[in-house]
Structures are given as structure tokens and as C-alpha cells.
């Protein structure tokens, strides 16, 4: 049977039916209704963040966080990572800002905080790093730089749902953090996302931006868009949130089996274990060093495909190698990110993946 790189978590159908019944009575389908509010409260508790605003998806959450923090400035620059999903960079560019790509660390693939300072100019307005694969960035160094240069920090925490650092929810770092609840993520609301933040002054702007900037029945303050989470998706969130701890626990079993089979194999490099971090086991990225392993990433990918196992070259290419960006930013060099993008493969990872299937995947890789 075919194995995909991921499989969306779904609650028992009875749970979902129970949760959406009130909608069929009230006919209140969207516009920050009672289920939206209930889900928002539950998420604030689960993520241990002071403030949270729900969105139709993670991408719009990030776009509107950038707008709410008033980063839009003629010629403004944002320091970010090229080793991410296109969404991160697109959100910067679609806000009229210029991405400045900082290279990444070779061991956990997050932005190399030591290299940020040299990229700061008088045009820099913010840093937008990514907790890639759920590996957390060097939040302490980034906070120190941001303070020194008076820059805003927005984390793309799309991969980091439920991750904690030193016992603190990951959404507490920086000025804001974006979470994605897309179907393929550890926690999903089908499509969905959120911005977590601590300064209450962003509460009203974020709330209004996702609803066309409408301030009241007779006035519109900001040039907003439409990015509200509806009641059906909030209901899905409530159902999936009930099972999230089990789901992460199941992923850990898969993760541990992969590590057991693939750690210490010559030419295979696994993501570095991070101290003081409670992980969410969102992905299982593996680097293949062709000279030592004897096979390249692309060959391993093809061999798995032949067995109907679908891993993903995630992230490949790096953002600044994509057609929409490569000509524009070719003066910016990020050799570590480019090297990793050519070697990395994310292996299938989801709660229902059996350990027998993990063994089968590892057998194909190792033989
Ligand atoms: C999924 C993802 C996004 C976008 O989230 P959506 O909910 O799909 O809009 C942004 N950044 C990263 C790193 C992602 O993986």
C-alpha cells in the first residue's frame, strides 16, 4: 500500500458531528462566532500564550501580523531564512518589503543568529525566522539583537505547534508567532492558522484586519482583507485539540524507531537534538552525504518512490533558488542552506504510521 509523507489527523466523526450540531441550530457559520471564541480560549490555554488571534490559514496570519506590527515601510528590509516554505518569504514580499536571506545552521537548519547582525542596515525593520521542522531558533540571541537594533521579531512557528522551550510555550518568543493549522501539520483545522502575541495593543488591529478593517458598523479604519476562521474549522480544531497529546505521543514512537534505525549510519545525518526543548515530532528530516553513504538524496527518493513510498524533498530548492526570487536576490549567498536543500529528505511521519512501515522504509534506505 502507498505511504505518503503525511496523513492528516482526523477526529472520530461522531465527535465532529456533536461539535457542529449547534451551528445547524443557530445558522451562525462564520464571523467570530461562539465556536471560534471557544476554540480560541482553548488554544490560548494549550499554547500557554497571553493573546491569540485565529485566521483562515497560517499564511494570511503571517501577512496580517506583518501589517498589524506596522512593518510596511518604503524600502524596508526583513532578515529571514531561505530554508523554509515559500509562504514565509511571500508574506514579506506581498507586504512590499524586501527579504534579506540569512544563512542557516548546519545542525538544526534554523537561521544562523550569529550571521544576522552583519545583514542589518538602516532599512531593516524586522527579523522573521522559522522554527523549521519544529526545531527552535536561537531565541535568546535573536531577542538580544532585536533589542539592540530596535527590530521587531515575528516567528514563523508553522511547524512548532505545542513545542516548548525551557517550559515556555514557543509562541511566547518575539513580538508575534504564526502557527499553521493546515491539514498536513501536526495539529489541523483543515485549513487554519493563528497569530500569538503578548502586547494587547495588537488585539484590535489583528481582529479587524482579517475582517476588511471594519471597525464598527459605520467605519473602516484599516485596509484589511478577509482571513477569518469559520465555525466549522474551529469545530474541527476543538475536536483535534482533544487528541493532540496522544497524537504527538504516537509520532514520538515513529520518530524513535527512525532514530534507532538510522542514527550512526555512515553518511546519514539526523537533525540535532535540542536541549530544554519538548518537541512535537512534526517531521523526520534526513541528510544524505553521497560520498559517505554511497547514494545521493535523489537516488534514495527514487528508490522509495519505486516502492510506492513518498518522501519529500522538503525544502528543495531553497527559497532564493526559486524562479520567482533567484534573479532578484542572486547577490545574497546562503551556501549552507543550498547545500542542505540538496541533501535533505523528509521521511513519512504521521501518527498512524506503523513501526513495520518505518522498518520497511529504513530497509529500503539502508539496502
Ligand atoms: C505550512 C506553512 C506555512 C503556511 O501555512 P498555511 O496554513 O498553509 O497557510 C508557512 N510557513 C511554513 C514554514 C509552513 O510550513
List pLDDT tens digits, range 9-40.
999 999 999 999 999 999 999 999 999 999 99
Whether the pLDDT of residue 99 is over 90: the answer is yes
What pLDDT score does 237 carry? 98
On the question of pLDDT at 1 being above 90, the answer is no
pLDDT for 293 beyond 90: yes
Residue 41: what are its φ and ψ, rounded to 5°? -60, -45
Pocket flag, ligand 1, residue 59 (CB < 6 Å): yes
159 C-beta closer than 6 A to ligand 1: yes
DSSP-H helix ranges across 48-174: 58-68, 86-93, 139-149
Residue with cell 545574497: 332
Which residues on neighbouring strands pair with residue 278, listed in sequence order?
A: 164
Task: Determine the average pLDDT of the residues in 94-105.
Answer: 98
- Amino acid 335: pLDDT: 97
C-alpha 192 to ligand 1 mean position (Å): 10
Q: What is the pLDDT of residue 93?
A: 98
Does the Cβ of 312 fall within 6 Å of ligand 1?
no
Whether 193 lines ligand 1, by a CB cut-off of 6 Å, is yes
Kindly provide the b/e burial profile for residues 250-274, where b requires at least 16 CB atoms within 10 angstroms of the residue's own CB. Answer: bbeebbebbeebbeebeebbbbeeb
The yes-or-no verdict on residue 332 having pLDDT over 90 is no
Portion of the chain with pLDDT greater than 90, in percent: 98
Question: What is the 180 CA–ligand 1 centroid distance (Å)?
Answer: 5
Separation of CA 158 and ligand 1 centre (Å) = 5
Give residue 330's pLDDT.
84
Average pLDDT (335-339) is 97
Grid coordinates given for 59: 499564511
Q: Where are the beta strands (DSSP E) in the chain?
A: 51-55, 77-80, 98-101, 124-128, 152-156, 164-165, 168-169, 176-180, 193-197, 214-216, 219-220, 268-270, 277-278, 284-288, 344-347
Residue nearest to atom 6 of ligand 1 (CA): 58
Q: How does pLDDT run across 105-164, given as a tens digit for each residue?
A: 999 999 999 999 999 999 999 999 999 999 999 999 999 999 999 999 999 999 999 999
Nearest to 18 by CA among 188, 229, 235, 237: 235
Distance 85 CA to ligand 1 centre (A): 7
Q: Mean per-residue pLDDT for 309-331? A: 95
Amino acid at each position: 500500500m502507498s505511504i505518503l509523507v503525511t496523513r492528516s489527523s482526523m477526529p472520530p466523526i461522531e465527535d465532529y458531528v456533536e461539535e457542529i450540531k449547534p451551528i445547524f441550530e443557530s445558522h451562525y457559520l462564520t464571523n467570530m462566532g461562539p465556536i471560534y471564541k471557544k476554540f480560541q480560549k482553548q488554544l490560548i490555554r494549550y499554547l500557554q500564550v497571553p493573546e491569540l488571534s485565529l485566521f483562515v490559514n497560517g499564511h494570511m496570519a503571517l501577512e496580517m501580523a506583518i501589517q498589524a506590527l506596522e512593518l510596511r515601510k518604503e524600502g524596508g528590509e526583513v532578515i529571514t531564512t531561505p530554508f523554509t516554505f515559500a509562504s514565509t518569504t511571500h508574506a514579506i514580499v506581498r507586504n512590499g518589503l524586501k527579504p534579506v536571506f540569512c544563512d542557516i545552521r548546519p545542525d538544526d537548519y534554523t537561521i544562523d543568529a550569529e550571521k544576522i547582525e552583519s545583514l542589518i542596515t538602516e532599512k531593516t525593520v524586522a527579523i522573521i525566522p522559522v522554527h523549521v521542522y519544529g526545531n527552535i531558533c536561537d531565541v535568546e540571541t535573536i531577542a538580544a539583537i532585536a533589542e539592540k537594533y530596535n527590530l521587531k521579531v515575528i516567528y514563523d512557528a508553522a511547524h512548532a505547534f505545542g513545542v516548548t522551550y525551557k517550559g515556555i510555550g514557543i509562541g511566547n518568543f518575539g513580538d508575534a508567532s504564526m502557527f499553521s493549522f493546515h491539514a498536513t501539520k501536526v495539529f489541523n483545522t483543515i485549513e487554519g492558522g493563528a497569530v500569538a502575541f503578548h502586547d494587547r495593543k495588537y488585539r484590535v488591529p489583528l481582529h479587524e484586519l482579517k475582517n476588511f478593517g471594519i471597525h464598527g458598523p459605520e467605519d473602516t479604519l484599516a485596509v484589511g482583507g478577509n482571513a477569518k476562521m469559520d465555525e466549522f474549522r474551529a469545530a474541527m480544531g476543538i475536536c483535534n485539540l482533544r487528541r493532540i497529546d496522544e497524537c504527538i505521543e504516537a509520532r514520538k514512537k515513529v520518530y524513535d524507531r527512525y532514530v534507532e534505525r538510522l542514527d550512526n549510519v555512515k553518511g546519514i545525518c539526523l537533525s540535532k537534538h535540542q536541549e530544554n526543548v519538548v518537541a512535537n515530532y512534526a517531521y523526520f528530516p534526513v541528510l544524505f552525504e553521497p560520498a559517505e553513504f554511497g547514494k545521493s538524496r535523489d537516488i534514495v527518493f527514487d528508490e522509495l518512490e519505486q516502492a510506492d513510498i513518498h518522501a519529500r524533498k522538503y525544502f528543495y530548492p531553497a527559497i532564493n533558488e526559486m524562479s520567482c526570487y533567484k534573479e532578484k536576490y542572486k547577490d545574497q549567498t546562503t551556501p549552507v542552506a543550498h547545500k542542505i536543500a540538496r541533501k535533505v529528505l523528509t521521511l513519512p511521519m504521521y501518527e498512524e504510521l506503523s513501526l513495520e512501515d518505518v522498518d520497511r522504509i529504513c530497509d529500503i534506505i539502508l539496502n
